[in-house]
Amino acid sequence: MTEVAPVQSWETDFDHAHPDYNANAHEIWDQLRGKCPVAHTERYGGTWLPVTHEDVSAIARDTEHFSSELVIVANRPPEEERIMTKPIGPAPPITSDPPFHQHARRVLLPAFSPQMINPWEDEVRRLCNELIDSMGDADVVDAAVQYAQHIPVNVIARMIGLPLEDSDYFREAVHTVLENIAAEASVRVAAVQEVFQYLLKHVEKHREQPKDDLIGYLLNAKIFDQPLTEQHVVGTIVLLLIAGIDTTWSAIGSSLWHLAGNSDDLARLVAEPELMPTAIEELLRAYAPVTMARVVAKDTTIGECPVKEGDWVLLPFPAANRDPAEFEDADKVIIDREFNRHAAFGLGIHRCLGSNLARLELRVAVEEFVKRFPKFELADKSAVTWSLGQVRGPRKLPVRILERS
């Protein structure tokens, strides 16, 4: 992992790849909201960080001035790489701008509808119980390493039609793309090209032996009556791996982290399991894992702040979710919060397409964990570690099991 220079100030020199950023994200955003609601850093060639709900929402909805061509703030790939993938971007639809975006999105929507996702519930439940069984009767288990990280990768690999035994490889590849952002662009470009080659092999296998999975689905899909290009098919699979793995793993981990540190909320969920769907929305609001990015497409302003074509802008949906101007008691986790139009899944045309799957995995993972372990606590607060970069969640989460059922 490429280390970054110490941060001099979160207002003028922030770095989302610095280990202190995600570890203290809520405090940093709160501080900025009061003093400097559009922070800036010279790093990565110049990056803005708006932290109010109003600014994040306005940018997410303004596709004329803010492009999704690149959505991870990192050292940029060379210009030729970027030109090669236009207009669809390297990972459609998340990297596609209008007008192409709506076509790329429409292709995927049916595959993630409730009718397609709900039948996976029993499988997810079985997987969660298998993971818990494999923990044996240890007093301390790592809820991130032994549990959360395995659930999304297992489900999305099977949905896409990729071998489960390659799960470690997928997690490693996603880690390079999302976390090793301070590395030279060539390191990340090489990692992505390797994943492309790996996926191309599987696409070829699917062409020879058609299968009823997401690769098969994409090979049969059409835009403007034409089959998708190979670049589009593989780019979408890369997106599904990236979007499907770290995000939900982080959401499961943060939810368990909260319950490990808040015994009243845990006891209430054990006593009132019907509260779970409402509690899950609140945990998504309070610990939203995903910050996306945009590239300024035309000079404009964020609030009063002028921004220039080519600048990066981070879109911290999690900070928007903690804005007191939008949510009452924004910093409190209220597991029966009634009014909760949170932005964890984004705002505007790129709103998460996998939210049915994400909610299913998160709900079932928390349900099964609290059912089997009705009492647990953080084993060692200082041993908890957090991810780096735009997807925030615990990566080490040792919890002490106090009761089993």
Q: Tell me, by CB under 6 A, how many residues bind ligand HEM.
A: 29
Q: Report the distance separating Cα 50 and Cα 52, nearest Å.
A: 6
Which amino acid type is present at position 348?
G
Buried b / exposed e over 297-322, threshold 16 CB at 10 Å, is beebebeeeebeeebbbbbbbbbbbb
User: Which token pair is 97?
Assistant: 């701008």
Nearer to ligand HEM, 188 or 350 (CB): 350
Nearer to ligand HEM, 17 or 353 (CB): 353
Nearer to ligand HEM, 108 or 131 (CB): 108
Q: Least distance to ligand HEM from the beta carbon of 391, Å?
A: 8
Task: Give the full edge-to-edge strand order of the sheet including 398-403.
Answer: 140-142, 398-403, 375-378
> Does residue number 50 form part of the binding site for ligand HEM (CB under 6 A)?
no
Task: Give the Cβ contact number of residue 105 at 10 Å.
Answer: 17
User: Which token pair is 297?
Assistant: 């497409």
Cβ(342)–Cβ(281) under 8 Å?
yes
> Does residue number 346 form part of the binding site for ligand HEM (CB under 6 A)?
yes
Nearer to ligand HEM, 300 or 356 (CB): 356
> Does residue number 253 form part of the binding site for ligand HEM (CB under 6 A)?
no
Q: Which stretch binds ligand HEM (CB under 6 A): 113-121, 132-140, 218-226, 338-346?
A: 338-346
Closest alpha carbon to 246 in 197, 319, 186, 173: 173
Determine which helix (DSSP H) or strand (DSSP E) holds 40, and give its type and residue range.
strand 38-41
Q: Parallel, antiparallel, or unpaired: how do β-strands 222-223 and 385-386 relate?
A: unpaired
Residue 119 CA, distance from chain mean position: 23
Single residue of 111, 357, 378, 384 touching ligand HEM by CB under 6 A: 357
Residues 92-121 that bind ligand HEM (CB under 6 A): 93-94, 105
Q: Report the distance separating Cα 170 and Cα 162, nearest Å.
A: 10
> Does residue number 217 form part of the binding site for ligand HEM (CB under 6 A)?
no
> Does residue number 162 form part of the binding site for ligand HEM (CB under 6 A)?
no
Single residue of 56, 344, 366, 379 touching ligand HEM by CB under 6 A: 344
> Does residue number 247 form part of the binding site for ligand HEM (CB under 6 A)?
yes
Single residue of 90, 253, 316, 354 touching ligand HEM by CB under 6 A: 354
Can you tell me which residue has the tokens 């970069």?
Answer: 389
Cβ(87)–Cβ(96) under 8 Å?
yes
> Does residue number 127 form part of the binding site for ligand HEM (CB under 6 A)?
no
Closest alpha carbon to 249 in 139, 142, 379: 142
Q: Least distance to ligand HEM from the beta carbon of 377, Å?
A: 24
Residues 269-288 that bind ligand HEM (CB under 6 A): 288
> Does residue number 173 form part of the binding site for ligand HEM (CB under 6 A)?
no
User: Which token pair is 196?
Assistant: 């492309």
> Does residue number 345 form part of the binding site for ligand HEM (CB under 6 A)?
yes
Q: Least distance to ligand HEM from the beta carbon of 183, Å?
A: 22
> Does residue number 214 form part of the binding site for ligand HEM (CB under 6 A)?
no
Cβ(294)–Cβ(64) under 8 Å?
no
Binding site for ligand HEM (CB under 6 A): 60, 68, 71, 93-94, 105, 156, 239-240, 243-244, 247-248, 251, 288-290, 292, 317, 344-346, 350, 352-354, 357-358, 362
